[in-house]
Structure 1
Amino acid sequence: MPTVLIIDDNAAVAVALDVLFSLHDIASISAASPEEGLAILGREPVDLVIQDMNFTADTTSGEEGVALFREIRRRHPDLPVILLTAWTHLDAAVDLVKLGAADYLPKPWNDERLLATVTNLVELGQANRALGTRLQREHKARRELEQRFDLRGLVWQDPATERVLHLACQVARADVPVLITGPNGAGKERIADIIQANSQVSGGPFVVLNCGALPSELIEAELFGADAGAYTGAAKAREGKFEAADGGTLFLDEIGNLPPAGQMKLLRVLETGRFERLGSNRERQVKVRVISATNADLKAMIRAGTFREDLYYRLNLIELHLPPLAARPGDILPLARAFLAPGKTLHPASEAALLAHPWPGNVRELKNVMARAGLLSSGATVQVADLGLPPASLPAQEAEPDRDAIVQALGRAGGVVAQAASELGLSRQALYRRMERLGIARP
């Protein structure tokens, strides 16, 4: 039950407010002087203060109320204060509102307005305290991760990223294959690098092969190497990525692009650590930690017969899913500032535009946008126009999901707004605005 402190030397005021609040499940404590009120604040938890502007020493100027408010603000800067005023000191109350007072109400007050103000301020204060507690927990978790593990300078703040990092660091020491899933440009290679840096083979090589960047006929040669004459243009023997990664980690990006023959050979290497170069019968032995990544639906590929099920389960002993950037909104501004040229800052309107953008290209797109903005901005501050972000152009029925669609999406997401927003094709901030407009309570 929320608690309100009433500081007023008129006992009738305290009694009237106590009766009013008790009818609406709000507790009250009364103090007859500024000194008594400050003493109560020093020893008891209070959600809100209602204070008079005049006490026995001075009944007209409001100076005592000003002094009391300033002392409350000094000792408890986040505590909301409502002022009870008379016409003789209305100007003083207005000045205090400018200094941070939550509201001022004339005597005699309107019960409905007072209750509405108190209820809103109490709910806001409780929400802010809960947010502060959550942010403290998140900051502590970030600090512990940064102290215990080598995060390779990764910039992040969002809880969704923290969960991925926590699991990545947990499995890093285990010598098991890891599959990282998520959209292109989300940062899967950075997660693989962090796993390598905290693994038992952190001193070994970290070798990267993007299976989607090579013709299918060359992927096997890149993975396993080739003897001279093994294929057209192979004038001399070449070492493959497995040999180069011996004693370390091999990161295979876009693993879904591996052709069937390469899948079979990869499965054998994972099971035995042995392979042959293309065009060679000599078996080679390596010890390599394999981390793979994909943006493809490997289970659908298995059903279609284009990806081996046994290889999938061999690669997927541990799966880490890295959400798209739009589902990690807490990362957007820290990353944007990190990508921005030295000496440049973001205008608040630019920050709002970055948060509202859906980022279909994820972190890679954000990096490119900030590089371009740094070049185009004429001053030290990056304006919205410098970002070059496209205006929203969705049809109204797509841009404005109705109330039922939003409620159903929130239900499917278990109340997680970021997940519901991603399903609806909106940013989290855009979904919040629609919820407020449609009167949908925040989870």
Structure 2
Amino acid sequence: MAYVLIIEDENVIRQSLRRLLEKRQHVVAEADSVESAVREQDLTGFDLIIADLRLPGADGTAILERAPDVPTIIMTSYASVRSAVEAMKLGALDYIAKPFDNDELLLTVERALKEKRLERQNAALKADLDRDYPVSGIVGTCKAMRDVFDRITRVAPTTTTVLVLGESGTGKELVARALHEKSERSDGPMITVNCAAIPDSLIEAELFGHEKGAFTGAVGARQGLVESADGGTLFLDEIGELPLAAQARLLRVLQEGEIRRVGSSRPRHVDVRLVAATHRDLSRLVSAGDFREDLYFRINVMEIRLPPLRERGEDLPDLARHLLERARKRLKSPPMRFSNETMEGIRRYGWPGNVRELENAIERAVILSDSTVITPDILGLRPDDAPQPDTASPGLSLEDYFRQFVLANQDHCTETELARRLGISRKALWEKRQRLGIPRRPRMEESQEG
């Protein structure tokens, strides 16, 4: 049901429209001119206005100035492209010509009301987020997170390049989205690229595009992801994995605002704001010759460092409850809560996979729980789970923390349990063991895992 105002000077048409809309359960008010509508009605109380273009006194488009926030459909028997364009320029939501088809009119009305509903829902959701969480739904009140929020607020309105640092699972993409949404580019695109997920042989073509015939399989020209971000924000996640050749091309984008598609000699101008993220120590990569020093200085203009979850002790209860509420709504489960023992376990556990691991564990618990109370065993926590927040050395890299966690737990955990607690697959655990030189100790249970 919606509240609709019809402004039409011909009584027959006005009554016909009224009957048509009332059959759809809408509440209808009438006026025969803009002047009488303004005089007799509270225009802000309507969900939709349908006004004839030619009326006694002021034209129907005059209502647009009197009720700028109410969607308005203009109708006229003087159908022409010119009058339609002029009405739309003045702010009309849509336009319909008389004599109109009833079904066509109803479709136009329903489309207008749907857009209005979506607009209100989006405004309400945004208001809730802005009220509850200072930055795009990121939960946190500890000092480290308040510093993150402060930096986001300060740098978002600028065009400054931002480098987001933090372990895997700490929410680096959420920070990038907050920077985009609070910038003057928020109406433009935000293109997200995981540099680690694209093979080295394809990454230049993916980022910068290619011309037809540039390489085997290039059957046509293709726009790259950098070009797709023109006028908006380009988020390069795991930028430390970018090959040196692609780094050189990216440097030119930052220095000259230009790209050159693979196989093309003609540069193209682009206007993008770069946000980069990594869990790796870029200064070490520079020293090892794996990352360009000039690119490092270009992207490290403003740094935002996200703390690991083990350093956000006072945030854990609120964050866990927020994630539980979100998961159970998404899964359409009844209201649920953590037991006191579970909340204590959440506080004590080190969460090497950070927020992503906590979120995955909570979602799994919501699915598996037969009760409205989530217990430690359902969440997958045990009394001897390690590491403790206060036993982890501050400033550890992700690799060092991984090494410490595996060595501390592999004597009493199977590979499956280790992988689950780390928030990764067994294959990823094996690959990381190989890369870091951490031998796997044989266990009787593991031989039975299959």
If the length of structure 2 is used for normalisation, what is the TM-score?
A: 0.55
* 2:140 pairs with one of 156, 164, 170: 156
Q: Quick one: which amino acid aligns to residue 382 of structure 1?
A: I
Kindly state the Cα deviation for residue 164 of structure 1 after the two structures are TM-superposed: 0.6
Residue aligned with 2:304, SS: strand
Partner of 2:314: 330
Partner of 1:379: 371
* 2:344 pairs with one of 339, 343, 352: 352
Q: Give RMSD over aligned pairs.
A: 3.0
Q: 1:218 to 1:393 in 2, by over 3 A?
A: same
* 1:226 pairs with one of 189, 195, 210: 210
Write out aligned runs for 1:17-416 (5 A).
Answer: 146=130, 151-340=135-324, 341-342=328-329, 343-392=335-384
Kindly state the Cα deviation for residue 149 of structure 1 after the two structures are TM-superposed: 9.4
Q: CA contact under 8 A between 1:157 and 1:334: conserved in structure 2?
A: no
* Runs of 4+ with deviation above 4 angstroms: 145-150, 398-401
Kindly state the Cα deviation for residue 146 of structure 1 after the two structures are TM-superposed: 4.3
Q: 1:361 to 1:305 in 2, by over 3 A?
A: same
In 2, Cα distance between the equivalents of 1:256 and 1:350? 37
In 1, Cα distance between the equivalents of 2:198 and 2:173? 17
Kindly state the Cα deviation for residue 200 of structure 1 after the two structures are TM-superposed: 1.7
Deviations 1:108-162 (A, max 9, x none): xxxxxxxxxxxxxxxxxxxxxxxxxxxxxxxxxxx9x946997222222322111
Structure whose alpha-carbon radius of gyration is higher: 1
Q: CA contact under 8 A between 1:150 and 1:197: conserved in structure 2?
A: no
Q: 1:349 to 1:149 in 2, by over 3 A?
A: closer
In 1, Cα distance between the equivalents of 2:312 and 2:336? 24
In 2, Cα distance between the equivalents of 1:248 and 1:347? 45
Q: CA contact under 8 A between 2:194 and 2:237: conserved in structure 1?
A: yes
If the length of structure 1 is used for normalisation, what is the TM-score?
A: 0.56
The share of aligned pairs that are identical, in percent, is 43
Kindly state the Cα deviation for residue 361 of structure 1 after the two structures are TM-superposed: 0.3
Q: Which ranges of structure 2 fall in alignment gaps of 5 or more residues?
A: 1-126, 330-334, 396-400, 406-450
Q: 1:150 to 1:234 in 2, by over 3 A?
A: farther
Kindly state the Cα deviation for residue 391 of structure 1 after the two structures are TM-superposed: 4.9
Q: 1:148 to 1:387 in 2, by over 3 A?
A: closer
Q: CA contact under 8 A between 1:149 and 1:169: conserved in structure 2?
A: no
Kindly state the Cα deviation for residue 228 of structure 1 after the two structures are TM-superposed: 2.3
In 2, Cα distance between the equivalents of 1:400 and 1:377? 27
In 2, Cα distance between the equivalents of 1:326 and 1:150? 21
Count of paired positions? 265
